[in-house]
Amino acid sequence: MKAWQLHDFGLENLRLGEVPTPTPGPHDLLIRVGAVSLNFRDKAIVDGIYEPQMIPKPLIPVSDAAGEVVQVGAAVTRFKVGDRVTSHLYSHWLAGEAAPDEPAYCFGAPLPGGLAEYMIIHEESAVAAPANMTDEEAATLPIAALTAWFSLVHYGKLQAGDSVLIQGTGGVALFGVQIARALGARVIVLTSSDAKGERVKALGADEVINYVRQPDWENVVLALTNGRGVDQVLEVVGGDGLNQSIQATRPEGQVAVVGFLQGQTAQLNLMNVIFRKVRIQGIAVGHRQAFEEMNQALAQHHIQPVIDTVYPFDQAKAAYEHQGRGGFGKIVIRVALP
């Protein structure tokens, strides 16, 4: 089969070639990959800044894939040939509390990912693709949508009338906007672009703050909430800006840390944490049970993924470059020919 492999860190070392098509074990599904979507994690892996010690080489990258089951192992009972499924990043985390070693079983590193014509997914890890979504749309769900859902709903217990602050207009952010809006929350979005601000309003954002013009945006959030602060923050930026998110959150509210666009470390003002009694909740996507519950909610509320651009398989490097620049919604690579 054709597959992209990362032979060393750096995009120049991501090369398209031929590798043996994998053979499914007794409980495995062989998936003909229709499409994959990129996340910041995928770019960070190629760049060598995401847990480099756990990245095997060569590696077939990209965690999030959707496609058709073309072969099943002898003991498979959950799916059949012809079913459409998606991958699930933490392939062993099915429900409940996460085990300490979940990162050892992630697709796209250290397990082979979906940037290939075929991939293996254990039947217990696979999730049925929504019938109303194309492969391109379904491929956006495993990390971006589930991270937003797990943050806001599983941990945040989002209720109608709550207020949510969401950073940016990438994949996680736009799923967060749509989910929060569908559940009756007030949505405030941070962006550097007025044009993107207008687009995110069309998706349901109530207020938009341009953080370039208003760098002290936490004060704007407090003003918009009569000094109280928002109930939840979807923190995708990371770095020292986490202090601003804490200041923008109500006492005993939640800051869900889901990304590290501006750095993997932060110097916290602990007095703000203490005085505001804010819960800083780390989010590592979510388990399969939540994925399936989320898919039901997406269908119920008619939420469709926002895709910025779909690249053909042979232009995977261009897709990575676009991911590095950022987009409005998800960057997708179509693998199988229509």
In the numeric block, which tokens belong to residue 66?
A: 């959707």
In the numeric block, which tokens belong to residue 277?
A: 């009694």
Amino acid 268: pLDDT: 85
Amino acid 267: pLDDT: 85
Neighbours of 110 (CB within 10 A): 16
Amino acid 316: pLDDT: 98
Among candidate residues 226, 241, 231, the one with its CA nearest the CA of residue 168:
241
Amino acid 271: pLDDT: 86
Q: Return the SS3 of 253.
A: strand
Q: What are the counts of helices (DSSP H) followed by strands (DSSP E) for the chain?
A: 10, 15
Residue 337: is its pLDDT beyond 90? no
Domains, in order of start, for the chain: 2-140+305-334 (3.90.180.10), 145-282 (3.40.50.720)
> Which tens digits make up the pLDDT trace of 109-157?
999 999 999 999 999 999 999 999 999 999 999 999 999 999 999 999 9
The residue-averaged pLDDT of 67-87 equals: 98
Residue 264: is its pLDDT beyond 90? no
Q: Rounded to an integer, what is the distance from CA 83 to the centroid of its chain?
A: 23
Amino acid 287: pLDDT: 97
- Whole-number Å distance between alpha carbons of 59 and 235: 29
Residue 308: is its pLDDT beyond 70? yes
User: The pTM is what?
Assistant: 0.95
Distances from the Cα of 52 to the Cα of 44, 46, 88, 316, 320, angstroms: 9, 9, 21, 21, 18
Amino acid 265: pLDDT: 82
Residue 59: is its pLDDT beyond 90? yes
The residue-averaged pLDDT of 278-287 equals: 94
